[in-house]
Amino acid sequence: MASDLLRFKKSLILALVAAMINALCFGAGLGMMQAAIALLTKFSRNSSETLAHLFEPMLERVASVHEGLAAWLGELMPYLPTDPFIAFCSVLGVILVLTGIGNVARFVHEWLTLTVVMRTAMFWRGKLMRKLLHSPFDQLLGNGRSENLVRILNDTNVLAAALRIIFGRAAGELLKACAGLTTAFMINWKLTLLAMVGAPIIGVLLRKFGKIIRKATKLALVQRAKLTASILEVLDGMSVVKVFGAEGYERRRFSNLNRGLFQEEQRMRTARVMSSPMVDMFAMTGVVLIGSVAAWLIFRQGEPAEEFIGVLVCLAASATAVKPLSNVNNQLYESSAAADRISEMLEADQEPSSHEDARQYPLLKRHRQSVTFEKVSYTYPTQDRPAIENISLSIKHGMEVAIVGGNGSGKSTLLNLVSRLFTPSSGRVCIDGQDIASVNLRSLRKQIAVVTQQSVLFEGTVAENIAYNYRHLSPEQIVEAAKLAYADEFIQELPGGYDYQLAESGHGLSGGQRQRLCIARAILRNPAILVLDEATSQIDADSEAKINEALHEIRSGRTVLVIAHRLSTVIDADLIVVMDNGHILDQGTHQELLGRCHAYQVLTQTQLYSS
């Protein structure tokens, strides 16, 4: 995932340069502060020494690192002021200029970093959405929509917030701390080295607290997904909640989940809050130690005070810059939990032949011969026993086939195999003799239209929903499909007609109206295979009869597979398949099955409505 940031490497390089300029100005400012301290503590009004004398020891240290830079700086020495007061004011002026340049560089660094992080987060959300769209259908059912929702929206925000701190403030502060330490080493390396003794202890503490935070964050993200699922369930089923008077039950259920989220967040928060005081305590212990050593050298050994004061100022400035890094460390471990969850989603399987390697698979020509199931079995990932087992069935092109059976008999599972929403655990599904598992997925689904029991409508106008995924259709084509689905009449009565803006999930329309829009969408697709999964369950008998007439009219040249719940649909079918417990009990016409299949006789009397 870090490689995604390299898409904006130019901006990152510019941000790094700006951060380095800010750090150099910070370090140079500390060096000038050392000069100001020396002017106040060492030189008197009658001193014969000049400002140049203050920089001579530092110039020697620079020469040991880079002779060219030292030579250039040496040429400037004669131009430095000799009067202590003017020298002091000049030093303060230089510090002010350095501060101004550093702050401009800091703005550029943080602005570029924020832009890169926001664009990266946008890229991640798009990447996760693409992954979601191409994930196997049974995998999506197993994960749950709330889990996917939290990963795309919440986890990416957590990770982006961490990156914003790491590449923004943390990078800048770390460079400033390094500049401060470098200046301190140039003033007195022995005292500075002594101050670094406690750094490994602080590192161990930060790592320990970070592990606690990471574990708690991962559990909190899982708990947040459960909480989101609870909210979505209540919103989807609000009418049931209210009619059954279950507000109190749902309130208590939500309260328990909410409390669980609080407890996980509290563990994470405790570790975060505790880490900063403990780090501060160790840092202050180091300051006291360094201060005591410095005082001993000054008062007992007669060492000059200005060097030690300069070192302490530099170390204090570095510590001020480093202090926020303890929170950055916590943020880093917190974001690593979100990164793990995002990586899991990105590394999950995709539908075969649906992504980059789709061109390797042959295109499926338009269906003209048969649809066959050859010893097909399928087991859901969360189940132990097969939903369907050892199914063999042959359907000729142009037939209308009705699938009947009790709840859980495997009807929907069987038809979902045709569009490859599910992939058989064993056996194969063939169209015109070609195994659909070995063909280009888009070319397969382009030939299939599905209308399910649940009316699926999207945000947009009525016309946009009928012409879903088709951008260049004429209004006449859309109206014709609506007429065939007997939807045109009620559409014309809506405000704006076909331009009527649907509410979320089509609320405001009746169940039958929403279903007829879905049927119009399927008709407009002109499919070779039309799958109706109890598609007329929410339509009155009169509307269903009209739709059945329309379907009979358009079925020429296409195969129609219907999960039937009404006797009128069954009677008109060319073939009826009776299923029970994942197996085919019998198949034939209505009269044939009525004469020989006891299970079908029971179905016609109990579960197939006569109207």
**Same domain, yes or no, for 313 and 186?**
yes
- Given 526, 551, 574, the domain boundary residue is 526
Q: In terms of domains, do 338 and 466 share one?
A: no
Q: Which domain holds residue 518?
A: 458-526
The residue to which tokens 């085919």 are assigned = 584
The answer on 467 and 338 residing in a single domain is: no
- Residue in the block written with tokens 């409508």: 457
Cα–Cα distance, 252 to 246 (Å, whole number):
10
Same domain flag for 278 and 135? yes
User: Within a domain: residue 70?
Assistant: yes
Rounded CA separation 326/213 (Å): 12
Sheet holding 575-580, edge to edge: 448-451, 529-533, 559-563, 400-405, 575-580, 583-588
Boundary residue ending a domain (322, 346, 370): 346
CA–CA distance, 482 with 464 (Å, rounded to integer): 12
- Do 320 and 466 lie in one domain? The reply is no
For residue 474, the SS3 value is coil
295 domain residue, yes or no: yes
- Same domain? For 339 and 470 the reply is no
Alpha-carbon span 324 to 330, nearest angstrom: 10
Is residue 539 a part of any domain in this protein? no
Residue 72 pLDDT: 62
- Are 329 and 465 in a shared domain? no
Q: Are strands 434-435 and 426-431 parallel, antiparallel or unpaired?
A: antiparallel
- Which positions ≥6 away from 107 have C-beta within 8 Å? none
Residue 535 lies in a domain: no
Nearest CA-CA partner of 122 in 152, 148, 146: 152
Q: How many domains does the chain have?
A: 2
Q: What is the DSSP string of 389-439?
A: EEEEEEEETT-EEEEEE-TTSSHHHHHHHHTTSS--SEEEEEETTEEGGGS
Give domain status of residue 545, yes or no.
no
Which of 145, 146, 154, 148 has the alpha carbon at shortest distance from 129? 148
**Do 180 and 48 belong to one domain?**
yes
Amino acid (one-letter) located at 486: Y
Q: Of 529, 490, 532, 492, whose CA–CA distance to 511 is shortest?
A: 490
Categorise residue 590: left if φ over 0, alpha if ψ from -120 to 50, beta otherwise.
Answer: alpha
Among residues 309, 327, 346, the one where a domain terminates is 346
SS3 at position 580 = strand
CATH code, 336? 1.20.1560.10
Mean pLDDT in each 10-residue stretch from start to end of the chain (611 residues)? Answer: 71 85 79 69 53 59 59 63 71 83 86 83 82 77 73 78 69 68 71 64 66 74 78 69 70 83 76 65 67 72 67 68 61 70 77 61 90 93 88 92 89 91 91 91 88 79 87 86 86 89 76 83 88 71 66 77 79 89 92 89 74 46
Same domain, 193 and 327: yes
> Does 408 reside within a domain?
no
Task: List the CATH number of the domain containing 517.
Answer: 3.40.50.300
State the DSSP code for 374. Answer: E
Within a domain: residue 286?
Answer: yes
Structure tokens at 583: 């197996």
H/E element, 195: helix 189-195
Q: Is residue 243 part of a domain?
A: no
Look at residue 221 and give its three-state secondary structure.
Answer: helix
The span from the CA of 493 to the CA of 505, in Å, is 19
Q: How many Å apart are CA 221 and CA 218, to the nearest integer? A: 5
**Contact assessment for residue 153 and residue 228, using Cβ atoms and an 8 Å cutoff:** no
CB 254 within 8 A of CB 227: yes
Measure the CA–CA gap between 387 and 380, rounded to whole angstroms: 7
pLDDT at 611: 46
With beta carbons less than 8 A apart as the criterion, state whether 467 and 503 touch: no
Whether the Cβ atoms of residue 575 and residue 402 lie closer than 8 Å to each other = yes
pLDDT, residue 384, reads 85
For 215, which DSSP code? H
Beta bridge partners of 428: 374
